[in-house]
Amino acid sequence: MSIEGKSFFRLLEERIAASASLLCVGLDPRVEPGKNAARKIMNENRCLIDATAEYTACYKPNIAFYETHGPAGIEALEETLRLIPEDIPVILDAKRGDIGATAEAYAALVFDRLKVGAVTLSPYMGKSSAEPFLKYSNKGFFFLCRTSNPGAERLQELTVGSSGGDPLYIKVADEVNGWSTGSGVVVAGNDPASLAAVRRRFPEIWILAPGIGAQGGSVEEAVTAGIARGGSRLLPVVARGISGAKDPTEAAREFRDSINRAREMTLRNGVGSKAPSRSREYRKEEIFQGLVDTGCFRLGSFTLKSGLVSPFYLDLRRISSSPRLMRQVARAYASILPDQRDHKIQRLAGIPVAALPFATAISLETDIPMIYPRMNAKGHGTGNTVEGAWSSGERVVLVDDLITTGKSKIEAAEILRGEGLVMEDLVVLLERGKQGRKDMERNGIRLHSYARAEELFQYLLDRGIIGQNKFDELVAFIAD
């Protein structure tokens, strides 16, 4: 809770320094309604706070998970806030925004009764809807700018003004930036392009970045795109990725450490050096729907090479049967290629066989020449281990369709490196689970993924293609 007399952001900066962490942990208890719901909420939150406090810069309870249980839920929220150590700030995720007396009542609940340090607000009714909150001058405010839910771009990326104007979310950031010295913005952690755009526009604004973990956001990509020049001013939010982990303490530590590694690397390389680009011609929603329409994603019972039985199957080879989807996918890959200003990408290398169509399509989209490693060297003719025209010392980006573990990627990298090529980056369309990223880091390879499997699952849930139980089953399977 907030320490009397200190502004929210001063307290936050002190906590970041003391904990060596930018991690914001979500306190979103998913408890079934019933007479024991409040007790279950308290037990869950007590355990989570005890497990994560050491690695946490701030906590973010979402009020919806408490309000749904009525007065008992609000009491559970109040008790939860009392459990949080005094030196750890709290952001209440309430997304409030209304007129006159209604906004005043909301502000009184948030700051007078609950006494939290900061709140998320919706700015779409204008400054007058925020003014009752802004009167609390020592508090913090995070205004919704670019949200993490699938479909948000249909409104938030609408171009404002004449052709080539800014997207709406940038105009929103422009507007709220001057409302208060305590104003920050909410920008999706699973949308690094938007994070980078906001950071370029506002080098010092505080950004709350939800969507890390279960919603598909990558810590490395979010930090690279959104960190400020001083190495702070960004709060990556993780909720289910920690609360749903077998060991929440270890999960919080891993997220904290991953954020710090990405922060250190970005500061060494220069903030903004890898800001991703965005093309309005590709949308994650459209690609996800394309995967469903072409049968690339299927539900059922599938025995994997490892012997495990999976409740779903991804076969991205089927993308090549849809020229339209292949064009969208090529643009998606192009959007996540590492920055070329300092170290120009000289070759793309597709891993046979599944990635060859993708590498070809990306090459046509970007004009970057393509080569590919022979996973089984030729025993006749030239005996080439790498096909195509290339020279030793050139920088190569490896291309594959998806990643679960790093085995085949490491084999391909060893072939390329064995020929004197510089291979430090891998791009994939989908990242499934955490093992692949760990394997890449151990082998000195930076992983760039367009989307995570959890993000696809969230899209399927939001569209009613799967239910909550199936969603939980799929997420649990890839978390194991």
Instruction: Decide: helix, strand or coil at residue 62.
Output: strand
| Cα(113)–Cα(121) distance, integer angstroms | 17
**Backbone phi and psi for residue 385, each to the nearest 5 degrees, phi listed first:** -100, -20
> In this predicted structure, what is the pLDDT of residue 288?
92
| Residue entry with tokens 């839920």 | 73
Phi-psi region of 371 (alpha: psi -120 to 50; beta: other; left: phi over 0): beta
Q: Which of 440, 392, 437, 452 is nearest to 412 (CA)?
A: 440
Instruction: Decide: helix, strand or coil at residue 117.
Output: coil
87: tokens are 């030196």
Burial of 40 (0-12, 13-18, 19+ CB in 10 A): middle
Between the alpha carbon of residue 69 and those of residues 42, 72, 74, 245, 272, the distances in Å are 13, 6, 8, 24, 43
Where do you find CATH 3.20.20.70 in the chain?
Answer: 8-269
Three-state SS annotation for 379-438? CCCCCCCEECCCCCCCEEEEEEEEECCCHHHHHHHHHHHHCCCEEEEEEEEEECCCHHHH
Which CATH number does the domain 8-269 belong to among 3.40.1350.10, 3.20.20.70, 3.20.20.100, 3.10.180.10?
3.20.20.70
Q: Which residue out of 95, 115, 171, 470 is catalytically annotated?
A: 95
> In this predicted structure, what is the pLDDT of residue 214?
66
Where do you find CATH 3.40.50.2020 in the chain?
Answer: 284-479
> In this predicted structure, what is the pLDDT of residue 393?
93
Q: Which of 444, 417, 446 is nearest to 431 (CA)?
A: 446
> In this predicted structure, what is the pLDDT of residue 120?
97
Q: Which of 396, 445, 28 is nearest to 215 (CA)?
A: 28
> In this predicted structure, what is the pLDDT of residue 283?
65
Q: Which segments in the chain show pLDDT lower than 50?
A: 1-2, 163, 273-282, 340-342
**Backbone phi and psi for residue 305, each to the nearest 5 degrees, phi listed first:** -55, -30
> In this predicted structure, what is the pLDDT of residue 376?
76
Helix ranges (H only) for 167-322 are: 168-176, 192-201, 219-226, 240-243, 248-269, 284-293
Query: Strands 309-314, 234-238: parallel, antiparallel or unpaired by DSSP?
Result: unpaired
CATH classification (class only), 284-479: alpha beta
248: tokens are 């929440």
| Cα(289)–Cα(271) distance, integer angstroms | 34
95 is catalytic: yes
| Cα(247)–Cα(199) distance, integer angstroms | 33
